[in-house]
C-alpha cells in the first residue's frame, strides 16, 4: 500500500462557528455499502505494507517525533477522561459480563490494626467497557492480520503473537470528528451510516486536518444512551460504513474510535455483512479499534485536536483490553 499521508487538506470556517447545520439532516439509513461486499482475498491483503513478518500494523507509524508533537498540544494541563466506569450496570454486548465481589476487611494481628480490602472481578476484561481491540480479536476465515492463521498462534491461555500486551503506551495526536454536531443532533439515529461526505463536511466545519499516525474519533452522540437506555445502546447504533472506514484508513490513523460499541454502523445496511469494518481495520489493514468511548465533553467543549494518552492492560496474548484513555489539553 502506498504512503497516503494527508496534511492540511481542508481549510474552512472556525471550529464550532455558530453551530451552523449546513442544511443537513440525518436519516436512519444512508447506505454506501455495495450489496454483496466480501473481504479481499489473501493475495490482495498480504503481505502487509509493513512486510510479511509485521505484527504491529499502523502502530508502526507512531514514533518519537509524533509523540513529541502530541506533547506540544498540552497547553494548560487539563485532562478530559474518555473512558467509562466499569460496573455491573453498564451495557454489555452478547454474553459479556462484569461481576465485582468485595472481599471485606481482613484485620492483621499486629497492634497497629492494619485492615485490608480487596475485590474479585469476573469479566471478559478485554471486551467490556471502553475497550481497545487487538488484531487477533477478529478474523477473515481462519486468518488474522497479515494472513497469520490463528490456529498457529492461539493457545489455551492467549495468543503467542499480536496480543494486546504488545501494543504499549500510546501517546499521539487525537482528533474528534463531530458528525452529530454537524447534523445538529444530540444523537444520530440508530442504523445511520456515516458517509465520506459527512466526514469531509464535519472536518471542514471544525477546521481540522487529519495527519499520519493520529487517532481518529467519531462522535455520533450514541454514548448518551450509555447507562440510561442500555437496551437501546446495544440494539444497534449509528457509525461509519465501509466507504468511510476505507477513506479514514487512507489517512493513516493508528486507531479508529467512537462512542458506540463497534465503531461502525450496526446493523450494516448490507445484511450479508457482519461488522465488516472490524475486518477492514483489524485484519486487512492493521488499525486498532477503540469502542464505547465517552466523547460528550470533548464535543460540548468543541475540542477538535488534543494529546491522546492510553495504556492497554498487559494481558498476555489478550484479544483486547479495557482502557481508561484521556485527552490532555
Residue 4 lies in a domain: no
Beta strand residue intervals within 25-97, DSSP E: 79-81
Cα gap 38→36, rounded to integer Å: 6
Residue 17 lies in a domain: no
User: What's the pLDDT at 37?
Assistant: 82
- The enclosing domain of 184 has a CATH number of 3.50.30.50
HSE-CB for 255 with a 13 A CA cutoff? 29
User: What's the pLDDT at 9?
Assistant: 27
Residue 101 lies in a domain: no
Question: Is the pLDDT reported for residue 2 higher than 50?
Answer: no
Q: What confidence tens digit (pLDDT) does each residue in 170-226 have?
A: 999 999 999 999 999 999 999 999 999 999 999 999 999 999 999 999 999 999 999
User: What's the pLDDT at 105?
Assistant: 87
If one counts the domains in the chain, the total is: 1
Residue 96 lies in a domain: no
User: What's the pLDDT at 244?
Assistant: 98
Question: Is the pLDDT reported for residue 299 higher than 60?
Answer: yes
- Pick the more confident residue, 74 or 8: 74
Cα gap 201→212, rounded to integer Å: 20
Residue 5 lies in a domain: no
Cα separations in angstroms, 245 against 63, 145, 248, 276, 307: 23, 17, 5, 10, 22
Cα gap 292→234, rounded to integer Å: 11
Question: Is the pLDDT reported for residue 32 higher than 60?
Answer: no
Cα separations in angstroms, 111 against 117, 146, 273: 18, 60, 65
Position 1 confidence tier, pLDDT thresholds 50, 70, 90: very low
Cα gap 177→253, rounded to integer Å: 13
Range of the domain at 299: 42-89+124-328
* Sign for the pseudo-dihedral over CA of 263, 269, 273, 274: positive
Q: What confidence tens digit (pLDDT) does each residue in 311-321 have?
A: 999 999 999 99
Cα gap 22→185, rounded to integer Å: 12
Residue 212 lies in a domain: yes
User: What's the pLDDT at 8?
Assistant: 31
CA angle 84, 90, 91 (to 5 degrees): 110
Residue 117 lies in a domain: no
Residue 110 lies in a domain: no
| pTM > 0.85 | yes
User: What's the pLDDT at 94?
Assistant: 85
Residue position matching grid coordinates 506540544: 72
Amino acid at each position: 500500500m502506498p504512503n497516503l499521508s494527508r496534511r492540511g487538506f481542508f481549510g474552512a470556517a472556525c471550529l464550532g462557528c455558530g453551530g451552523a447545520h449546513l442544511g443537513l439532516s440525518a436519516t436512519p439509513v444512508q447506505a454506501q455499502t455495495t450489496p454483496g461486499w466480501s473481504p479481499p482475498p489473501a493475495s490482495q491483503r498480504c503481505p502487509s505494507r509493513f512486510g510479511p513478518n509485521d505484527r504491529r500494523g499502523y502502530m508502526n507509524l507512531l514514533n518519537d517525533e509524533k509523540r513529541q508533537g502530541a506533547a506540544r498540544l498540552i497547553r494548560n494541563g487539563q485532562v478530559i477522561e474518555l473512558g467509562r466506569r466499569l460496573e455491573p450496570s453498564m451495557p454489555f454486548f452478547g454474553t459479556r459480563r462484569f461481576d465485582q465481589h468485595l472481599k471485606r476487611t481482613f484485620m492483621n494481628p499486629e497492634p497497629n490494626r492494619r485492615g485490608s480490602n480487596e475485590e474479585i472481578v469476573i469479566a471478559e476484561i478485554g471486551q467490556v467497557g471502553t475497550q481497545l481491540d487487538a488484531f487477533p480479536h477478529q478474523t477473515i476465515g481462519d486468518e488474522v492480520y497479515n494472513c497469520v492463521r490463528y490456529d498457529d498462534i492461539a493457545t489455551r491461555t492467549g495468543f503467542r503473537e499480536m496480543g494486546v500486551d504488545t501494543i504499549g503506551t500510546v501517546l499521539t495526536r487525537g482528533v474528534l470528528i463531530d458528525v452529530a454536531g454537524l447534523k445538529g443532533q444530540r444523537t444520530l439515529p440508530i442504523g445511520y451510516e456515516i458517509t465520506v461526505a459527512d466526514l469531509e463536511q464535519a472536518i471542514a466545519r471544525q477546521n481540522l486536518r487529519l495527519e499520519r499516525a493520529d487517532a481518529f474519533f467519531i462522535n455520533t452522540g450514541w454514548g448518551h444512551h450509555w447507562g440510561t437506555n442500555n437496551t437501546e445502546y446495544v440494539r444497534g447504533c449509528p457509525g461509519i460504513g465501509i466507504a468511510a472506514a476505507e477513506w479514514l484508513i487512507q489517512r493513516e490513523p493508528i486507531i479508529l474510535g467512537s462512542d458506540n460499541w463497534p465503531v461502525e454502523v450496526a446493523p450494516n445496511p448490507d445484511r450479508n455483512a457482519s461488522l465488516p469494518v472490524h475486518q477492514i481495520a483489524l485484519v486487512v489493514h492493521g488499525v486498532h479499534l477503540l469502542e464505547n468511548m465517552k466523547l460528550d465533553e470533548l464535543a460540548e467543549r468543541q475540542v477538535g485536536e488534543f494529546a491522546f494518552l492510553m495504556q492497554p492492560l498487559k494481558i498476555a496474548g489478550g484479544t483486547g483490553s479495557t482502557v481508561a484513555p484521556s485527552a490532555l489539553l
